[in-house]
């Protein structure tokens, strides 16, 4: 199996649209993302150094493909080129994820308590997408809601998809603008392949004034989701002038 890897250590498995990343489960685990169905090298582990790990990785992928299938999240064909300044670097993505996860571990949950009723902190799914809606990073904290995986992705996609180098919208903003009679009324009926979210928890990401992607967080109340997303987006905020709350003089919120 290792011999079939290309120079980038990637093995295309199907033409469908998930990514299965070797991660950590005694050396290997499956992480379900979106894009193509690929098995790719994880920089945090020595997957391809040991034949037994490669075999285990193959078993994991086989089981996932057999029982999990592949969903249809595809890259958006923008119809124009993306400049180098509009790309997230791997280090950027890791920083965003680490910041978001650290925030989640400090954020008090709206809903979670332990067996004695003591309030607990949040457990989130955190997803980062690039300008084409492809997932470039993910953190899924233990015991995070299963139903929040697709929500986190759709939040990240929504915030990215309706922002640009000249305007910045969050999913909170979209929620306000999509109310009956609003400028984006019925927008939730668009982009069905990716999903549109109209409540807080998704923010666009910028670097040097350029839109580079979006972050989506889900796993608790929407205010808690947004707080964690904000924590992740620190250092990747849009220029203040293009934020929707600035453009509309506060009529449409950016965050709470």
Return the CATH number at 180. 3.30.450.150
* Count of domains forming the chain: 2
Are both 43 and 121 inside the same structural domain? no
Identify whether 218 is part of a domain.
yes
Are both 196 and 101 inside the same structural domain? yes
Q: What is the pLDDT of residue 86?
A: 82
Are both 96 and 213 inside the same structural domain? yes
Dist CA 253 CA 256 (whole Å): 7
Domain boundary among 67, 94, 109: 67
Q: Are strands 10-14 and 37-40 parallel, antiparallel or unpaired?
A: antiparallel
Which portions of the chain are predicted below pLDDT 70? 1-73
Average pLDDT of the residues of the chain: 79
148: containing domain: 84-247
Identify whether 75 is part of a domain.
no
Are both 27 and 108 inside the same structural domain? no
Please write the tens of the pLDDT for every residue from 24-81: 333 223 333 333 333 333 333 333 333 344 444 444 433 333 333 334 468 998 999 8
Are both 106 and 29 inside the same structural domain? no
Dist CA 97 CA 80 (whole Å): 28
What are the CA-CA distances from residue 212 to residues 7, 94, 135, 156 (Å)?
A: 26, 14, 12, 12
Are both 95 and 39 inside the same structural domain? no
Determine if the pTM surpasses 0.85.
Answer: no
Burial category of 36 from C-beta neighbours within 10 Å (exposed 0-12, middle 13-18, buried 19 and up): buried
Residue pair 168/254 in contact (Cβ under 8 Å)? The answer is yes
Helix (H, G, I), strand (E, B) or coil at 90: helix
Dist CA 196 CA 151 (whole Å): 9
SS3 per-residue string spanning 120-177: EECCCEEEEECCCCCEEEEEECCCCCCCHHHHHHHHHHHHHHCCECCEECCHHHHHHH
Q: What is the pLDDT of residue 34?
A: 33
What are residue 161's DSSP bridge partners?
none
Are both 144 and 63 inside the same structural domain? no
Q: What is the pLDDT of residue 129?
A: 97
What are the CA-CA distances from residue 224 to residues 40, 111, 203 (Å)?
A: 32, 10, 13
């Amino acid at each position: 199996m290792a011999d079939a890897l290309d120079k980038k250590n990637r093995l295309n498995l199907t033409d469908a649209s998930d990514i299965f990343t070797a991660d950590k489960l005694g050396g290997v685990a499956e992480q379900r993302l979106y894009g193509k169905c690929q098995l790719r090298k994880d920089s945090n582990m020595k997957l391809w150094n040991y034949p037994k790990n490669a075999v285990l990785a193959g078993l994991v992928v086989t089981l996932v493909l057999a029982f999990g299938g592949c969903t249809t999240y595809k890259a958006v064909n923008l119809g124009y080129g993306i400049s180098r300044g509009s790309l997230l670097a791997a280090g950027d993505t890791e920083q965003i994820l680490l910041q978001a996860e650290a925030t989640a571990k400090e954020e008090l949950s709206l809903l979670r308590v332990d067996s004695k009723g003591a309030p607990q902190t949040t457990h989130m799914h955190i997803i980062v997408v690039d300008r084409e809606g492809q997932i470039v990073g993910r953190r899924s904290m233990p015991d995070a809601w299963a139903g929040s995986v697709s929500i986190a992705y759709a939040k990240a996609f929504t915030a990215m998809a309706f922002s640009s180098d000249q305007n910045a919208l969050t999913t909170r903003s979209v929620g306000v603008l999509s109310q009956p009679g609003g400028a984006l009324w019925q927008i939730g009926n668009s982009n069905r392949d990716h999903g549109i979210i109209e409540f807080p928890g998704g923010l666009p990401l910028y670097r040097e004034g350029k839109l580079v992607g979006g972050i989506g967080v889900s796993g608790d109340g929407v205010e808690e989701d947004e707080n964690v997303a904000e924590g992740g987006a620190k250092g990747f905020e849009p220029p203040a002038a293009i934020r929707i709350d600035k453009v509309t003089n506060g009529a449409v919120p950016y965050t709470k």
